[in-house]
């Protein structure tokens, strides 16, 4: 069955949702829809949702809510809620958004086409939140590629079984399951052939990749991907500190395409809170792992996630988090105020911290980290760093020398994921260029390329 018209996808949430949205778009394309960025033109609107924090969930409801009016003037418009909020709410979603046509849970993507057909045949208010332990596989497809893209996400595993007490992921994404290494290598080989230079492997806990299925280990998977021709950089997220293995540390050290960067969410610096969060490590264990990592990979850049205001977090617990950040000096952090999620166990813990206090702690923490990030950025001045070119800079800095007829201000990223702006006449998107860093700002570095571009050379 074919449809005619345009599809608009709004993606909220993590990188996995970005990857999933591309798969949804592939399905929509195969049913005859063309992709559009113009909401007004859309004949089908899909919101791929996130329920990690209250705010993300509200964003989804408010986006979808506004189609009630539009649907009156455009009755054929199809509206779909997909992803984590869809999985969490099921048919309850219709109470807040009665005009919704399809509620598509996180494990129902393979059946999206079927539901579109049922809708065309007259079925209304379709809900699919069936729990399927199957991994969703689709044939790799590069037809909807944007040629200027350098970097892509590839999900290697789905679900999570860590049950951190604040987190909805195990409930909305289900049990952990890994894709086969052959399928992953096949997909990345195709991406590399299509010109992609960097991939980020996605999973809630990549270190347990393949364990349940008896697949090769994550470091072994990295080794296979490292051998793929044309690919220049490999990133991955997320590693859980409790499972960070020495083999992974060696893989970062030895595999030339694996970036010298690790995102290792610590969440809190207080042992009491870590225990209540069910994280499975102490402050000491975390610090020991970081020390080992720094010993083996002295140039490693580190980033982390922090939650402030977890139920019962005292001022001292919070100070412990601050001191951990000061000790380790992460290159960057993502910090969040704890958001109560009714499906997660911590919602029943009591002893909630006032919203106002959570905000105070969050702003204080971010302020402190800004200074650390700036210090880390300033340490780059004078260094010559490889930058993977992503495109022209959107930001222009006054006084930045742009002499020469074809001189453009370009931007790219270092292995450590720092943004670098530099002037150049002849680099191409996807080149790796050595840039001498001359200036450091809170969120970016600025410099000049060395005389000859080292295109493709590492």
Q: How far is the C-alpha of 283 from the C-alpha of 306, rounded, in Å?
A: 13
Is residue 24 exposed (0-12), middle (13-18) or buried (19+ Cβ within 10 Å)?
buried
Residues 138-177 that bind ligand F3S (CB under 6 A): 168-169, 172-173
Binding mask 71-110 for ligand SF4 (x = CB under 6 A): ----------------------------------------
The backbone region for 122, taken as left when phi is positive above 0, alpha when psi lies in -120 to 50, beta otherwise, is left
Per-residue mark of binding to ligand F3S, 71-110 (x: CB under 6 A)? ------------xx--------------------------
Quick one: 170 or 412, whose CB is closer to ligand SF4? Answer: 170
Number of residues that bind ligand F3S (CB under 6 A): 13
Residues in 203-222 that interact with ligand SF4 by CB under 6 A:
204-205
Residue 181's binding partner out of ligand F3S, ligand SAH, ligand SF4, none, with CB under 5 to 8 Å set by partner kind: none
Give the one entry of ligand F3S, ligand SAH, ligand SF4, none that residue 336 binds, where binding means its C-beta sits below a cut-off of 5 to 8 angstroms depending on kind: ligand SAH
- The answer to whether residue 13 forms part of the interface with ligand F3S (CB under 6 A) is yes
In SS3 terms, 259-326 reads as CCEEECCCECCCHHHHHHHCCCCCHHHHHHHHHHHHHHCCCCEEEEEEEECCCCCCHHHHHHHHHHHH
User: Of 332 and 377, which CB lies nearer to ligand SAH in the complex structure?
Assistant: 332
Which residue's CB is nearer to ligand SAH, number 105 or number 265? Answer: 265
Which of these ranges, 128-136, 146-154, 166-174, 355-363, lies near ligand SF4 under the rule CB under 6 A?
166-174
Q: CB under 5 to 8 A by kind: which of ligand SF4, ligand SAH, ligand F3S, none does 307 bind?
A: ligand SAH
In the complex with ligand F3S, the residue whose CB is nearer, 17 or 393, is 17
CA atoms within 13 A on the CB side of 334: 8
Cβ proximity to ligand F3S: between 204 and 380 the closer is 204
Beta-ladder partners of 433: 387
Tokens found for residue 181: 């290494």
Binding site for ligand SAH (CB under 6 A): 52-53, 166-167, 169, 204, 238, 240, 265, 267, 305, 307, 336, 338-339, 341
Which residue lies nearer to ligand SF4 by CB, 157 or 420? Answer: 157
Among 6, 8, 17, 262, which residue interacts with ligand F3S (rule: CB under 6 A)?
17
Cβ proximity to ligand SF4: between 163 and 250 the closer is 163
Contact in structure between 19 and 155 (CB atoms under 8 Å): yes
In the bound state with ligand F3S, the residue whose beta carbon lies nearer, of 14 and 206, is: 14
Q: What whole-number distance in Å separates Cα of residue 452 and Cα of residue 170?
A: 49
The correct pick among 42, 160, 297, 301 for binding ligand SF4 (CB under 6 A) is 160
Can you read off the two tokens belonging to residue 52? 């990690």
Report the nearest approach of ligand SAH to the CB of residue 310 (Å): 8
Judged by beta carbon distances under 5 to 8 A according to partner kind, the member of ligand SF4, ligand SAH, ligand F3S, none in contact with residue 339 is ligand SAH
Instruction: Tell me if 145 sits within 8 A of 192, measured CB to CB.
Output: no
Q: Cβ 89 to ligand SF4, closest distance in Å?
A: 19
Window contacting ligand F3S (CB under 6 A); options: 46-54, 95-103, 111-119, 209-217: 46-54
Instruction: Considering only residues 112 through 141, tell me which ones interact with ligand SF4, judged by CB under 6 A.
Output: none
Map the footprint of ligand F3S across residues 51-70, applying CB under 6 A. 51-52
> Is the sign of the CA dihedral 169, 356, 364, 59 positive or negative?
positive
Beta-carbon contacts of residue 451 (< 8 Å; ≥ 6 apart): none
From the list ligand SF4, ligand SAH, ligand F3S, none, partner contacted by residue 170 (C-beta under 5 to 8 A by kind): ligand SF4
Contact 178, 215 (CB under 8 A): yes
Only segment of 9-17, 244-252, 322-330, 355-363 that touches ligand F3S (CB under 6 A): 9-17
Residue 170 in contact with ligand SF4, rule: CB under 6 A: yes
Which residue ranges make up the site for ligand SF4 (CB under 6 A)?
160, 162-164, 167, 169-170, 204-205, 240
Which residue ranges make up the site for ligand F3S (CB under 6 A)?
13-14, 16-17, 50-52, 83-84, 168-169, 172-173
């Amino acid at each position: 069955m074919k449809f005619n018209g345009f599809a608009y996808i709004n993606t909220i949430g993590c990188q996995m949702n970005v990857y999933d949205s591309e798969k949804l778009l592939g399905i929509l394309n195969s049913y005859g829809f063309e992709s559009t960025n113009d909401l007004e033109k859309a004949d089908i609107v899909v919101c791929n949702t996130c329920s990690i924090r209250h705010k993300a969930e509200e964003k989804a409801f408010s986006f979808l809510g506004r189609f009630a009016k539009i649907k009156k003037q455009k009755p054929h418009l199809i509206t779909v809620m997909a992803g984590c909020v869809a999985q969490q709410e099921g048919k309850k979603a219709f109470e807040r958004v009665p005009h919704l046509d399809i509620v598509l849970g996180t494990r129902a993507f393979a059946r999206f086409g079927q539901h579109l057909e049922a809708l065309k045949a007259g079925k209304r208010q379709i809900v699919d939140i069936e729990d399927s332990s199957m991994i969703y596989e689709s044939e790799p497809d590069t037809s909807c590629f944007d040629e200027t893209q350098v970097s892509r996400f590839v999900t290697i595993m789905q679900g999570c079984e860590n049950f951190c007490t604040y987190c909805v992921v195990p409930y909305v994404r289900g049990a952990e399951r890994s894709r086969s290494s052959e399928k992953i290598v096949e997909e990345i080989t195709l991406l590399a052939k299509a010109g992609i230079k960097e991939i980020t492997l996605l999973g809630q806990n990549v270190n347990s990749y393949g364990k349940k299925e008896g697949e090769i280990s994550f470091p072994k998977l990295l080794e296979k991907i490292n051998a793929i021709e044309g690919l220049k950089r490999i990133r991955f997220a997320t590693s859980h500190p409790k499972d960070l293995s020495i083999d992974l540390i060696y893989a970062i050290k030895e595999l030339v395409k694996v970036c010298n960067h690790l995102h290792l969410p610590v969440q809190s610096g207080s042992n009491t809170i870590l225990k209540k969060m069910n994280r499975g490590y102490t402050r000491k264990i975390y610090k020991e792992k970081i020390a080992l990592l720094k010993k083996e990979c002295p140039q490693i850049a580190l980033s982390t996630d922090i939650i402030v205001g977890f139920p019962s977090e005292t001022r001292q617990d919070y100070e412990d988090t601050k001191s951990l950040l000061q000790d380790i000096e992460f290159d960057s952090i993502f910090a969040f105020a704890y958001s109560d999620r009714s499906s997660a166990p911590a919602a029943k813990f009591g002893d909630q911290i006032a919203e106002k206090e959570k905000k105070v702690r969050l702003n204080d923490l971010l302020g402190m980290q800004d200074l650390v990030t700036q210090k880390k950025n300033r340490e780059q001045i004078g260094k010559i760093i490889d930058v993977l070119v992503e495109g022209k800079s959107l930001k222009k800095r006054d006084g930045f020398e742009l002499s020469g007829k074809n001189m453009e201000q370009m931007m790219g990223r270092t292995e450590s994921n720092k943004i670098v702006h530099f002037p150049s006449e002849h680099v191409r998107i996807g080149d790796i260029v050595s840039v001498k860093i001359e200036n450091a700002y809170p969120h970016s570095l600025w410099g000049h390329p060395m005389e000859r571009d080292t295109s493709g050379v590492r």
